[in-house]
Amino acid sequence: MTQEIQSSIPSAEPSTVTIEPGPHALPGDNARKVFIKTYGCQMNVYDSTRMADALSADGYVQTENVEEASLVLLNTCHIREKAADKVYSALGRLREMKKLRHAKGEEFMIGVAGCVAQAEGAEIVRREPGVDVVLGPQTYHRLPQALKQARTGKRVVDTEYAVEDKFEHLPDPTKTPGRKRAVTAFLTVQEGCDKFCTFCVVPYTRGSEVSRPLSQLITEAKRLVDSGVREITLLGQNVNAWHGEGPDGKEMGLGDLLYKLAEIDGLARLRYTTSHPRDMDDRLIEAHRDLRMLMPYLHLPVQAGSDRILKAMNRRHKAADYIALIERIRQARPDIALSGDFIVGFPGETDADFEDTMKLVETIGYAQAFSFKYSSRPGTPGADLPDHVAEDVKTERLARLQELLLKQQHDFARSLVGKTIDLLLEKPGRMPGQIIGRSPWLQSVNVDAKTSQIGDIIQVRITDVGPNSLFAEVAGS
């Protein structure tokens, strides 16, 4: 799902030629094949998997080769401007591929899903006549019906927020024909956002915060474990805003959900992402203290270290609040590693504001982090703010911040050398006998483990640090 769409045909300007639908042959064999390109966050990865599940009932099998697909789906992200630009660039190439395939009498359909589809559905069909289906994040369970309509010649745009629960209409994710389940899996527990940070499009593309019911989540998690999954990562735009009704009728939060999931036999590890500092409550911190299967890694974005900029972002917390929260979490789970998100060059950010961000990073110490230059998104309050920062200033600040964050990441990795850790083995490595596993802190680890199998959790000793991964040997060997 991560293959880039390639074509020897260069991109062209939007064409006024309409592709007449008709009874087309399928390429290669008799099975319809779908290629899914996923942009953006882990929730989009989960959504892409569920779209493939929905399509399996319609006779589709997934392919990693766009050239043999009869359907190409772009599952899009609207967080940054370049992400949307990439989508339109890919659609230009796909338009030319569609002309060639239809000239051969082959079926070739194009669908756009996700947040760009939600935000720019009408614009997509205006600019790209080759697109057959446009679906928002809340309506992708209707994909098979949309494709059926599109085959009659009707271009389908479905970006209304669904009244029905899409998860109730999706097939069991563990029973998709031909799909081999990995040992790790995502599970969306919450969607949407009510925080309305001034830089963010999520409330406008994903809608208000909605939590899936407890019973639905327990059922899906048990099915995943029964199919061989050892580690589940809970997903949500604000995952720690999840709430639901417990068996006793009382309100539950994410901490309570983690305790319930920890009771599932066969489940070895739990994670969750992405969190908001305002929703990090006592019960969730207690879960980090009590549940050894809840991995000691927390992605908790702060975005900036300046109180003035945090207020302009509508984050509704101060830098000191964030630092105090991290101290409480570390008291509960001393071995926890922190990850975060940072935006530099938000409108009005001064040199002093940026230095406050650098001080916060130095104070916290991150094992990993994601940092970006501010990108104005149309329709968000931030786009209308005055005093936008010059591009060269944003570039210089980002370089300084990333240098510090990268040093902290390397320092954390080096601190593990010589230590023995538990490693979940996930997939074969490049070398014979080598297996790649995942550390408790989400790092990729290479180990020679000839007598172990994918899905095993073994003890290894970290021996060295590479640019993007760790190296280890089986403990006691």
147 and 44 together in one domain: yes
Q: Tell whether 200 is in a known binding site.
A: yes
- Asked whether residue 175 is domain-assigned, the answer is no
Query: How far apart are alpha carbons 355 and 372 in whole angstroms?
Result: 16
Check which CATH number belongs to the domain holding 438 and give it: 2.40.50.140
Q: Tell whether 41 is in a known binding site.
A: yes
Q: Tell whether 143 is in a known binding site.
A: no
- Asked whether residue 391 is domain-assigned, the answer is yes
- Asked whether residue 164 is domain-assigned, the answer is no
Q: Where are the beta strands (DSSP E) in 347-394?
A: 368-373
398 and 469 together in one domain: no
- Asked whether residue 106 is domain-assigned, the answer is yes
Q: How far is residue 92 from each of residues 2, 73, 87, 99, measured CA to CA in Å?
A: 18, 14, 9, 11
230 and 249 together in one domain: yes
Q: Tell whether 356 is in a known binding site.
A: no
56 and 139 together in one domain: yes
Check which CATH number belongs to the domain holding 72 and give it: 3.40.50.12160
Q: Tell whether 187 is in a known binding site.
A: no
Name the domain boundary from 266, 295, 324.
Answer: 295
Name the domain boundary from 268, 295, 322.
Answer: 295
Check which CATH number belongs to the domain holding 406 and give it: 3.30.750.200
Domain that holds residue 285: 181-295
- Asked whether residue 2 is domain-assigned, the answer is no
Name the domain boundary from 263, 295, 327.
Answer: 295
426 and 463 together in one domain: yes
DSSP 295: -
Pairing of strands 368-373, 337-344: parallel
- Asked whether residue 462 is domain-assigned, the answer is yes
Report the first-to-last Cα separation within the chain, whole angstroms.
Answer: 37
For the chain, 477 residues long, give each residue's pLDDT as a single digit of tens: 333 333 222 222 222 222 233 334 444 455 789 999 998 778 888 888 888 888 987 789 999 999 999 999 999 887 666 667 888 899 999 999 999 999 999 999 999 998 888 888 888 988 999 999 999 887 888 888 999 999 988 998 988 765 455 566 566 666 655 556 689 999 999 988 999 999 998 888 888 899 999 999 999 999 999 999 999 999 999 999 999 999 999 999 999 999 999 999 999 999 999 999 999 999 999 999 999 999 999 999 999 999 999 999 999 999 999 999 999 999 999 999 999 999 999 999 999 999 999 999 999 999 999 999 998 888 899 999 999 999 999 999 999 999 999 999 999 999 999 999 999 999 999 888 899 999 999 999 999 988 899 999 999 999 999 988 999 999 986
Count CB neighbours of 262 within 10 A: 15
Query: How far apart are alpha carbons 118 and 78 in whole angstroms?
Result: 9
389 and 443 together in one domain: no
279 and 312 together in one domain: no
- Asked whether residue 166 is domain-assigned, the answer is no
237 and 262 together in one domain: yes
Q: Tell whether 193 is in a known binding site.
A: yes
The structure tokens listed for 397 are 């600040």
Check which CATH number belongs to the domain holding 214 and give it: 3.30.750.210
* Number of folded domains that form the chain: 4
154 and 187 together in one domain: no
362 and 437 together in one domain: no
251 and 352 together in one domain: no
151 and 191 together in one domain: no
